[in-house]
Amino acid sequence: MFGIYFGNYLQSKGLISKEQYHEILKEMKSARLKMGLLAVVNGLMTEEQAEQVNQLQQMQDRRFGDIAVEKGYLTKEQVEDLLKQQGDQYLLFVQALTEHGYLSLEEIQSELKSYKKEERLSALDLDAIKSSELDKIVQVFLKEPSIPPVMKDYIALIARNMIRFIDTDLRLEQAERINSIRLPYIASQELEGDFRFFVGISGEKEAILAVASTFGKEEFTTVDEDSLDAVCEFINCNNGLYASKLSEEDTIEELMPPAMYKNNTKINTEGAMYKVPMYISGKRLELIICMEAKWQING
């Protein structure tokens, strides 16, 4: 997932094109890290030493690690450790950038510093994004202090299910506390029980249709009752999983019938409401959540 976040930043700065960005993400799905890059990034070899071993590989039918050990550049233990890192998403993205000649290692490090500063990320935040572990990444974008833990759990769940059922190309932005929002349309559902909960999904037409078509297993071309109903089905599925999880913790929530609104809907709350931007393949969704707040929907 690191490539989705950092790649979007590089694209926004004009350092790679949209086509290059998506081609790299496609390549990464089947790519493996080269031992030379791993050794250099880990500070075990210089770029010159790695290139020397690569050239020897062109003349010998031998593995990079075996040659590097023979040359005294690596130990067998170091080779074993590097082999365990070959699925690292951060390094796979770095490898793709350098192999295509889009950026050098030095330029990548410089842009990482700029990305960290511009997005106001701590060192731990950046490490979380580099880890590509969704639960860690979600927490980076839920820094609003008033968000309760149970809501953070919900947002992490719906993000996982977006990846599982809709699109692996998912990117989040910072959650924002709001009291009012107007949306062109929204698919929603309420939960009632030990606490009251409202969740809705709106967003760009292409994003809504992507959720509807993928989850509904039917091609939708317009945002209408049928496509919004398919989005409601996704929300209902997610909320069923959420309610089941809560029941294991002796918290009871009952799912109300899903509801959709199409006519320039406005939601007002007395209390906290949160907007969580989610991008699927670059198209923006708005996840709207209220909990234990009085909400009013006019649509």
Task: Give percent above pLDDT 70 in the chain.
Answer: 97
The count of residues in the chain is 299
Residue 138 has phi, psi (to 5 degrees) of -55, -40
CA distance 189 to 198: 6
Q: Are residues 170 and 279 in contact, defined by beta-carbon separation less than 8 angstroms?
A: yes
Over residues 113-149, the pLDDT tens digits come to: 999 999 999 999 999 998 878 888 999 999 888 888 8
Alpha helices in the chain (DSSP H): 2-12, 18-28, 35-41, 47-57, 64-70, 76-83, 89-99, 105-118, 123-131, 134-140, 149-161, 205-216, 225-247
CB-hemisphere CA count at 13 Å for 188? 26
For residue 241, the model assigns a pLDDT of 87
Residue in this structure with the two tokens 């708005």, named with its chain if needed: 286
The mean pLDDT value for 249-260 works out to: 92
Q: What is the pTM of this model?
A: 0.77
Q: Which residue has the higher pLDDT, 144 or 74?
A: 74
Domains of the chain (ranges, CATH numbers): 2-134 (no CATH), 144-298 (3.40.1550.10)
Q: Position of tokens 């950038």?
A: 97
By the 8 A CB rule, do 33 and 91 touch?
yes
